[in-house]
Chain A
Amino acid sequence: MREAALPAARARSPRLAGGVLVAAGVVLVAALALLVVYPSVMLVVGSLVADGRLTLAHYWRTFQDRAAVATLGNSLVVSTAATVLGTALGTVLAWLVTRTDLPGRRHWDTLLLLPYMIPPFIGAIAWVYLLGPAGYLNQLWMALTGSPDPLVVIYGPSGIVFALTLYGYPIVYATMRGVLQQMNPALEEAARIAGATPARLLRDVTVPLMLPGVLAGALLLFMSSLANFGIPAVIGFPARYFVLPTRIYRTILNFDLPNNLQIAAALSMWLVAIGVVLLFLQRRVLRSSRFVVVTGQATAPSRVELGRWATPIAAALGAFVAIGAALPVGAMLLTAATRAYGLPPVLENLTLQHFETVAVGIPKVPRAVANSLALASGAATIIVVLALGIAYLIARLRVRGAHLLDVLVTIPYAVPGTVVALAMILAWIRPVLGVHLYNTIWIILLAYVARFLIFGVRTLMAGLSQVHDSLEEAARISGASGARAFREITLPIIRPSIAAGWFLVFVPAVTELTLSILLFSVGNETLGVVIYGLHEEGKFALAAAGAFLVTTMLVGIHLVARAVSLRELVT
């Protein structure tokens, strides 16, 4: 997947596509974007309204609220830390997998993406299961060493950073993997023949050229961390460490506060503002550097031979995967396999009954599986189509508005899911043009599309911008219409971007919680809602079993997709 922003000035031909294509494209994009943009607008408007009047009072109030400012500070601290760590991690790992001769690369690739496939809330809980004061690891420690104190307790800001990094680095990893695969290998070879050692090569050539991708991935990770609710709720609360999303949630629950929903919207807009500022900065930084345009070259990147470093690196990777993926999955497994939560996980207390119950004993579950898979694939497909249209309009037809669009798709991503859900309710509770969306599965679909659209747009814009006009022009000279040229020439070339964008949306959509829990209705439960519901009711083992099965399912889908030669997802 490629995640580079648009390159600087390049000659582009004006009207590449035929009139019909343009018209259809504009209509499609406008219609669908409206459906998605409308709630964002609702949110912004909502934050400016009190008792029916336009006002900036909410914003003034949030500035004066010391507690709100403090939680914002906390948010920035943990998000920045997690972004720095996660970006470094994701980039290094992507480099190892794509540019070295690391043995077993394909398997590492799946393992490194594993944290992304764990339902986020349960992923956070899993670390409490492991490193809570009575967590498995701590209990093991105390049993082995006889110490009365646990080794380390996950609660608190460091725990939040830890969890955010661990579950967030796959975003950067996936981004950088695509960027590195697409980089012109000759640029690195030139440095090597000029005498640069691998370390120097990295520093002087590889890293600077990766910068666009790194910044793009880092921005996504940062916004995702800022808006994250589940991890701070689970890991921060017990240590009395609060972040803005949890405060926003509390504001929403504070029903006797006048205009509490509007205040919540205003608080959320802070997150948007930060996101937009960073977006702006990113554009500035990237504009002043030069981009490499890949014009469909043939040679594959040469790989750095790790030599005697291969074993230590593989060992380090193994340790990392063990910690990052195996431990939480193991915790889920252990909890799911224990007869009753709280009993020690010794052999006599182990059972498979919870797996069976979750899989076949709860009618809601298969329904939720079907719903989630349908919603996730639907959302991913719609997003890809939408993003393709948007990217085409902007990259090829030079329709202005790339900046505005960037901001609009950022809003539903930068704010906590709860807020997006509320905006969706406010936007769609009354039928629009006779269309009932509330309390149907469609509103959930729309919410997913709004939320994850940013992934599609980013991925496809970058992918499309790297395909030179001349390739399509050649087809048109040969007699193909604009649409045909696009379909038969460009689409196949950007297939990696499309596939990557699809998956980047599909996975979190399957396990999504904060949107679904406010928008679902009878028969439209999603996996996130069902699993979380089980946990919240006190059925911890069932919830863990459900989460484990969902993760397994996603890993299975990933492996199948890869086997069916979607080789663009791996090197």
Chain B
Amino acid sequence: MRDRRLGIVAVALGMAAVLLGGTTAGGAPAPSGTITLYTSESDDDVNLLTRDFTQRTGVRVNVFRAGSGPVVSRIQAELQAGRIQADVIWFADIDFFRSLAQRDLLESYSPPAGRRAPGEFHYDNNRMHEVRLIFNVIAFNTRAVRFKPESWWDLSLPRYRGRAGMPSPFISGAAFNHVGTFAAMREFGWDFYRKLRANDAKVLNSNGDVARALASGEIVIAQIVDFFVRNLKAQGSPVDHIWPSEGALLIPTPVAIIKGTQNLEAAQAFVNYLYTPEAQRLFVQRSYIPAVRDMPYPAGTPDVATLKILKPNLAFIEQNRATIRSTFGEIFGIQ
């Protein structure tokens, strides 16, 4: 009898200790254990980063890497079943992230190392963060195109009739943001897309599909995410890209922590890690423009400060999702 009561007290004390220990801020215990990451980042990038992270902290990262489509599907299913099983999520569909945030499913966190990045890269009350920058740019096939394009409107030039392409906003969240943003801009508007359609522009599948079509010459000019082109070019494919004169569209690729994660310290450590000079240097190594201010850019990239960047019009997009979808569908004959 006495032992039992002692036992209960011991357990209670132990639990209290754990709880107290867990909630202390500065003197938090070192992160440990394992976290699960759902991401659409490229395999090579993820491997590089997670290996480095594990080396530095000892925290192991289980990665589920797939296209953003499967990742979104999986998260939805898990949510439906009760709980998202990831600790950290990281992929280019900010609308989805925001819908999660609206349902209070994301953890708010201000990574110390994140202070080195501009405040605008910490979205939605620190519930999601931009750790490196990718953009929608104009890419072209170097074997087929003689004069480098310069403007977004070049996509509807007569000489590119039927040979211009873009990813489908119904498949790619980034493409959806692009359409929504441009539709809301006075200098583009829906007219921009009507002209594209009149010029028989092709709406393909995902960015990967656009890359394939571009490299093979099926299309010769495209709207596509910059790193796809960079990677293909590095391999030797006949592609290249330019920074459009009106500006390249920033593609938010947020990182967020799921609320209720079992290993909050480790998750936070990971997000923080991504802002550290070590991680940011890895990004630069992989030719990405880093999010932090004080990091030199990869060789050959234009200076973000001097070039025009277009930010996605998230507010407009959020209000008008259905209209954007239907209007685009109407213009391009996609139901």
Contacts and interface: CB of A to CB of B under 8 A. Distances in A.
Interface in A93-138: 128-129, 132-135
B215 interface: yes
Nearest to A427: B81
Given A67-B335, A340-B235, A537-B208, A517 B63 contact: no
Interface stretch (A84-92, A251-259, A377-385, A407-415): A251-259
A538 B211 contact: yes
Given A238-B202, A425-B78, A533-B65, A250 B170 contact: yes
A429 B78 contact: yes
Interface stretch (B69-77, B121-129, B303-311): B69-77
A439 interface: yes
Interface stretch (A194-202, A391-399, A518-526): A518-526
Interface string B291-335: 000000000000000000000000000000100000000001111
B232 A520 contact: no
A430 B81 contact: yes
Which of the four size classes fits the interface of chain B?
35 or more
Contacts of A540: 212, 215
Contacts of A66: 335
Given A341-B216, A425-B77, A430 B82 contact: yes
Contacts of A418: 73
Interface string A321-362: 000000000000000000111110000000000000000000
B43 interface: yes
B76 A260 contact: yes
Contacts of A517: 66, 70
A30 to B, nearest CB: 25
Contact of A533 (B43, B203, B211, B333): B43
B216 A342 contact: yes
A438 B86 CA distance: 12
Contact of B236 (A133, A343, A439): A343
Contact of B212 (A250, A341, A343, A439): A341
B85 A438 contact: yes
B246 interface: no
A548 interface: no
A38 to B, nearest CB: 14
B76 A255 contact: yes
Contacts of A135: 216
Given A252-B73, A426-B81, A537 B215 contact: no
A416 B62 CA distance: 28
B99 A256 contact: yes
B63 A522 contact: yes
A536 B64 contact: no
Contact of B168 (A234, A237, A364, A429): A237
Interface string B201-217: 01111101101111111
Interface in A413-442: 418, 422, 425-426, 429-430, 438-439
B64 A521 contact: yes
Nearest to A418: B73
A476 interface: no
A172 interface: no
B236 A240 contact: no
A250 B171 CA distance: 7
Contacts of A238: 202-205
B65 A538 contact: no
A341 B70 contact: no
B77 A341 contact: no
Nearest to A129: B216
A481 interface: no
Contact of B218 (A132, A255, A343): A132
Contact of A134 (B216, B231, B332): B216
Contact of B204 (A237, A429, A520): A237
B208 A538 contact: yes
Interface residues of A, number: 52
A134 B162 CA distance: 13
Contacts of B235: 339-341, 539, 541
Contacts of A376: none
Interface string B148-189: 000000000000000000001011000000000000000000
Given A250-B171, A537-B208, A340 B232 contact: yes
A341 B203 CA distance: 21
A538 B211 CA distance: 7
B245 interface: no
A132 B70 CA distance: 26
A255 B73 CA distance: 9
A198 to B, nearest CB: 47
A166 to B, nearest CB: 21
Interface in A509-549: 517-518, 520-522, 529, 533, 535-541
A233 B205 contact: yes
Nearest to A535: B208
Interface centre among A67, A132, A233, A341 (most CB of B within 10 A): A341
B67 interface: yes
A539 B215 CA distance: 12
B261 interface: no
B129 to A, nearest CB: 21
A340 B76 contact: no
A158 interface: no
B239 interface: yes
17 contacts: A129-B216, A134-B216, A134-B217, A250-B171, A253-B72, A253-B73, A261-B77, A341-B212, A342-B215, A343-B236, A425-B77, A426-B77, A429-B78, A429-B83, A439-B85, A522-B63, A538-B211
Cβ-closest 9 pairs across A and B: A342-B215, A340-B236, A67-B335, A134-B218, A429-B81, A134-B217, A425-B77, A342-B237, A134-B216
Given A340-B215, A342-B217, A533-B66, 14 more contacts: A132-B218, A134-B216, A237-B205, A240-B203, A253-B72, A339-B236, A342-B215, A342-B232, A343-B236, A425-B78, A518-B70, A518-B73, A518-B77, A536-B206
